[in-house]
Amino acid sequence: MFDSIHSAFDSHWRVTLQHGNRLWTYSFPLSLVTFRRSDAELRARMLLSNSAPEFASLPREAVRCLSVRYMQDVFCRERAIAWAALNDCGAIRDQYTRHLLGPGDTPRDDAWRSELRHVHQSYRDRVIGHGRTREEILTDLDNDPPGLDLRLYTSNGSVCWSDVFADIAKAAMSEWRFTPYGVLWIDNG
């Protein structure tokens, strides 16, 4: 069993507990837990006891703490661009990868490095915005993209984001790239 309380791209403590073949992973933002590892572990044990009362009566040693790690926020425009370029050139395969390649499908020769530099520079030149979410990008842009007025998508004081994203996708002039370092909005026009 795997339980998780985690929001992407936030610095947080991550605690993994184990009893037999069951694992629980809890994540806490720094606002809930101080910088001490013991506080993060204690909070995870309290949450486990509250969510699974059968474990509350067990001795502390019965539920092992496998790890307590501080996961630092890594939010960086240049890293996101580099990640997207490496992904397109076949150097990265993981949960974010759009195209799954077999091992050895991408040679690392001079031609590949040249293509990587070209793709990397292309992304740098075409980035419209970078943020933690698509909504953040669209609300934090210095200059509104031509033809995009968020007031057209607003009713009762809130923006209907699904309509905004549907219209952006329908125009097919840009794309969203989701990376471990943030979201990129790329101009394809």
pLDDT of residue 105: 59
Cα atoms in the 13 Å half-sphere on the side-chain side of 55: 21
Angle between helices 77-88 and 110-126 (to 10 degrees): 130
DSSP structural state of residue 86: H
**Spans of the chain, pLDDT less than 70:** 1-11, 30-35, 72-73, 93-107, 141-148
Q: Are strands 182-187 and 127-131 parallel, antiparallel or unpaired?
A: antiparallel
Distances 93 to 83, 87, 140, 183, 185 between C-alpha atoms, Å? 11, 7, 30, 18, 21
pLDDT of residue 94: 53
pLDDT of residue 27: 81
Q: Which residue has the tokens 């057209």?
A: 152
pLDDT of residue 32: 63
pLDDT of residue 19: 85
pLDDT of residue 6: 38
Query: Is there a contact between 158 and 135 (Cβ–Cβ < 8 Å)?
Result: no
Q: Which residue has the tokens 């990376």?
A: 179
pLDDT of residue 5: 36
